[in-house]
């Protein structure tokens, strides 16, 4: 899906900062929308999307327990299908619950990062993971505006210094 890191025009913004910014935009906007749209199918009286972050949406999905992760690696901590790390999700785990876990892990990776930098290799890995899961959600949810199109628009855009600062503050 992606062969190189993010593009940028501002020489004051490093490539790694731009990678982090774009991944932050993807997490805060597209991936949160995916979780919201999926939850909307099963839970009628949701708060407005603007009032729902990934933590809230994940917790609601976990509570409903409809889209259960595969748990093919039989993780022990935490026990059961929910939670765990990247290593607990196999490439062959493509249930909706597995993709919910991928979204949570992506969000947590950014949220708990000690620096506002994302190396090219990891950026490309995450873009590919997200590209695959968004294709599956495009087919499952059938949004008016395809998530994969929104991903490609975000990846192609040039980010301003203001956008970098905004994402740094939101993450």
* pLDDT reported for residue 12: 83
pLDDT tier at 11 (50, 70, 90 boundaries)? low
pLDDT tens sequence across 97-114: 999 999 999 999 999 999
Q: Are the C-beta atoms of 150 and 30 separated by less than 8 Å?
A: yes
Q: Are the C-beta atoms of 149 and 132 separated by less than 8 Å?
A: no
Angle at CA 62, nearest 5°, toward 123 and 64?
140
- Cα separation, 147 vs 9, whole angstroms: 25
The tokens of 163 are what? Answer: 């956008």
Closest C-alpha to 107, from 160, 18, 33? 33
Rounded percentage of the chain residues whose pLDDT exceeds 90 = 77
Sign of CA dihedral 18, 20, 26, 29: negative
CA atoms within 13 A on the CB side of 131: 13
Rounded percentage of the chain residues whose pLDDT exceeds 70 = 90
**Contacts by 139-146 with C-beta closer than 8 Å and gap 24+?**
140/38, 140/96, 141/34, 141/37, 141/38, 141/41, 143/33, 143/37
pTM of the model: 0.91
Determine the 3-state secondary structure of 77 from DSSP. coil
pLDDT tier at 80 (50, 70, 90 boundaries)? confident
**Tokens 């059961």 label which residue?**
80
Cα–Cα distances in Å, from 24 out to 14, 32, 94, 146, 157?
15, 11, 23, 19, 13
Q: Are the C-beta atoms of 156 and 132 separated by less than 8 Å?
A: no
Query: Is 5 a residue whose pLDDT tops 60?
Result: no
pLDDT tier at 73 (50, 70, 90 boundaries)? low
């Amino acid at each position: 899906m992606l062969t190189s890191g993010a593009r940028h025009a501002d020489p004051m913004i490093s490539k790694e900062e731009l990678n982090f910014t774009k991944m932050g935009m993807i997490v805060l906007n597209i991936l949160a929308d995916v979780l919201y749209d999926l939850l909307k199918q099963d839970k009628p009286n949701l708060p407005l999307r603007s009032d729902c972050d990934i933590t809230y949406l994940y917790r609601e999905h976990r509570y409903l327990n409809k889209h259960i992760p595969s748990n093919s690696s039989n993780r022990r901590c935490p026990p059961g299908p929910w939670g765990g790390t990247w290593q607990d999700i196999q490439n062959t785990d493509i249930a909706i619950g597995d993709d919910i876990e991928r979204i949570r892990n992506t969000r947590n990776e950014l949220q708990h990062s000690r620096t506002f930098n994302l190396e090219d290799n990891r950026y490309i890995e995450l873009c590919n993971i997200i590209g695959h899961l968004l294709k599956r959600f495009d087919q499952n949810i059938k949004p008016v505006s395809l998530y994969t199109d929104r991903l490609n628009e975000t990846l192609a855009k040039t980010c301003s210094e203001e956008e970098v600062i905004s994402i740094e503050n939101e993450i």
